[in-house]
A and B are shown apart, each in its own frame.
Chain A
């Protein structure tokens, strides 16, 4: 059985069991993995022989210490890689997740350590609360819709803010979407054009949408 499949299996087991604090059922596990049930069974047998997992009553699966360590390591690699691919390289999440799934099995621990350090260092201002006159927090290096002027062609990077997010999403204002700033009044009310529709936004909403200029 291939190494990567075994690692995927350990990763999934670790993920599920660490969040529920109990042995994992077979069905739960197979829901997480994209393999056939037979494949999973044979991998589990192998892992049990190697002492990474143990079966408890009723056939549920428990990770042993060594299994837990391996699983945790793989999951950490996955998350770090995915974070790097999406946040730093701007890859879309779906692609990034697939890519991370492939890379996680070959990458060394050292690379991952250095990578996660690099991620932390390169956006030092992230999530720090600014002291701008609009009491709103602003992310360093990020520009909200209000930082641009009429006629600019933009791409949504991220959004912040609770209640209204849903409506924005349904109107198509989601990360990755291209929009154009059609009108901006002096009082900061704006109109954006998204998916052939004009949408008027209050300043506090425009301020919570972060965008970059389309080149």
Chain B
């Protein structure tokens, strides 16, 4: 049996999916977290139940990328049943989507999630009446507490059925549907799509468009509007019947503070700065502890051991790779992810989007684009995928350029681990400043030259919530896994290869070749240029390889402050990593990917050379 989770954005579909299948997908408190289909499965009474997590949508008749994806998914008829997840505190709007799903005629159940919040708000929903009104089973859950989640699969297995409701449409719409049904044999749902201009069948759409024109002339309203209004009215009727009490308790309005210019904007700046500072202070402390520990228990004994030369070179590369990877990258990345997860789960991101809307217009996008940009601080890959939430090609192109310039956590490792640790915290902050200025300049430039239309922001504000430590840790861990299980092995293999190369003498040859460029243009030793190239594989590898090539994690012993600064700056700007290039290619196509890559390479080298010229 195959079932799909469908519902409005941010209602808890992914959290439920994780709990049902044990697969880990992103769960965050802002609309548009999930942008792809994700599959998983669970076993119930010896039967395999496949579950699909869908992106959140507001309507099945919309034209956005996710809405199209979900509609096509349902049209293909690949699921036996759907689970419509609703946010109990926003029942009326959620019912609007449920009504559309019901029209598909797929067996379904409804899950009324966020019961905990509903109770807190003093709302009460009469589930029995709701079941009666919809003609399907309704289950109350609170996914964040795991309440009733175990009942979902049994219920959908035995109780999923087609809804019995019919939405009463405007006379003219009903007449048009009847005409299409009679003349062309189109189904009700298909006729409704055709009237709204989104049907797949050519003849039906053609016939419908003539009727549509006429209805619109008569009503002075588009057919979409009429249909939407009818559905909203019906949803309201149902909501009014089932919402029993509504006692509003006026409380302290935190939102008032967060979304006003003052103190909202100072708070925004403070949040960003303090995030960086906390990552640096806590990260640096952990780094020192771990690096020292490695030195004492691994590297010093190794050197004292006196292995044969080849073995010693390789063992030493391995040991330093471990020291740099676990000791330096891990603490910064992990702490950064924890803070980012907290930020995401509070619902603050949508407030930041609102405050930044005007400023983002200047760089050719709107406030909603703040969300992928901030996500980019964690990792560019999901951020680029988050671009799907932007409506126009123009915004996506600008967004692609800007996101790949955002210093991701791996680059934060470089900035904090190299520049802040060995040069000073102020110089590290100037790197952020330079990157920020470059991003702004790029945005200003691109907004002038990129063709295409621009839409404004229409963004649902996520409710403010206290993040749950369990969920925060789980999400950070999920994101860290990629670092531990992909980056670390890559680093270890890379370091062994490097050790071998060094032993044979290839490294020396390469360095001789690249020396004129690295020393002449950037003013850094040739092995630093080699390390930079490793940064293309994974950003933080530039740093770790520098340590391996230099033979020590104490970088100030081998390079001057200026050299370290330039190295840091160039590797932050220079080329997105391969994973980012791959996802850019998939989402945006070859041309944009090539343009972004060339642009960042050029930018990195030019800025590096400039700094070298001025201060060198």
Which A residues are closer than 8 A to B by beta carbons? 15, 19-20, 25, 27-28, 30-34, 78-79, 82-83, 86-87, 93-94, 97-98, 163-172, 174-177, 183, 185-189, 191, 195-205
Contact = CB atoms under 8 A, between A and B. Distances in A.
A185 B260 contact: yes
B245 to A, nearest CB: 14
25 contacts: A19-B210, A19-B213, A28-B182, A31-B178, A34-B171, A34-B175, A79-B218, A97-B170, A164-B391, A166-B59, A167-B458, A170-B96, A172-B92, A172-B96, A185-B355, A189-B457, A191-B354, A197-B461, A199-B461, A200-B457, A201-B456, A202-B357, A202-B361, A202-B366, A205-B457
Contact of A196 (B64, B92, B228, B366): B92
Contacts of B222: 165
Interface of B: 58-59, 61-64, 89-93, 96, 170-172, 175-176, 178-180, 182-183, 210, 213-214, 217-222, 224-226, 228-229, 232, 255, 259-261, 350, 353-355, 357-358, 361, 366-367, 391, 453, 455-461
Given A78-B218, A94-B171, A164-B456, 10 more contacts: A30-B182, A34-B175, A166-B61, A167-B62, A167-B458, A169-B225, A191-B354, A196-B89, A197-B93, A197-B461
Contact of B218 (A97, A171, A191, A195): A97
A30 B255 CA distance: 56
B124 to A, nearest CB: 14
A183 B287 CA distance: 44
Contacts of A189: 354-355, 357-358, 367, 457
Contacts of B92: 172, 195-196
Contact of B59 (A34, A170, A174, A198): A170
Q: Nearest 6 CB-CB pairs, A to B?
A: A202-B456, A31-B179, A170-B59, A198-B461, A170-B58, A187-B358
Contacts of A197: 90, 93, 460-461
Contacts of A168: 458
A175 B461 contact: no
Nearest to A78: B218
Nearest to B91: A196
A196 B96 CA distance: 13
A195 B93 contact: yes
A198 B182 CA distance: 42
B395 to A, nearest CB: 12
A202 B259 contact: no
Majority-rule SS of B interface residues: helix
Of A177, A187, A197, A203, which is in contact with the most chain B CB atoms at under 10 Å from its CB? A197
Nearest to B391: A163
Contact of A27 (B172, B183, B456): B183
A186 B59 contact: no
A83 B221 CA distance: 11
Contacts of B59: 166, 169-170
Contacts of A188: 358
A195 B240 CA distance: 12
A31 B175 contact: yes
Contacts of A165: 222, 224-225
B214 A19 contact: yes
A170 B180 CA distance: 25
Contact of B228 (A78, A169, A186, A201): A169
A31 B183 contact: yes
B220 A87 contact: yes
Contacts of B459: 199-200
A166 B218 CA distance: 20
A200 B179 contact: no
Contacts of A82: 218-219
Contacts of B458: 164, 167-168, 171, 199-202, 205
A32 B175 contact: yes
Contact of A202 (B62, B232, B457): B457
Contacts of A94: 170-171
Contacts of A174: 225, 228-229, 232
Given A30-B182, A163-B453, A202-B366, A93 B226 contact: yes
Contacts of B224: 165-166, 169
Of A30, A172, A191, which is in contact with the most chain B CB atoms at under 10 Å from its CB? A172
Contacts of A98: 171
A93 B219 contact: yes
Nearest to B368: A200
Contact of B259 (A167, A169, A191, A195): A191
A197 B455 CA distance: 21
B399 to A, nearest CB: 16
Contacts of B261: 185-187
B460 A198 contact: yes
A182 B264 CA distance: 15
A25 B456 CA distance: 46
Contacts of A78: 218
A22 to B, nearest CB: 12
Nearest to A171: B58
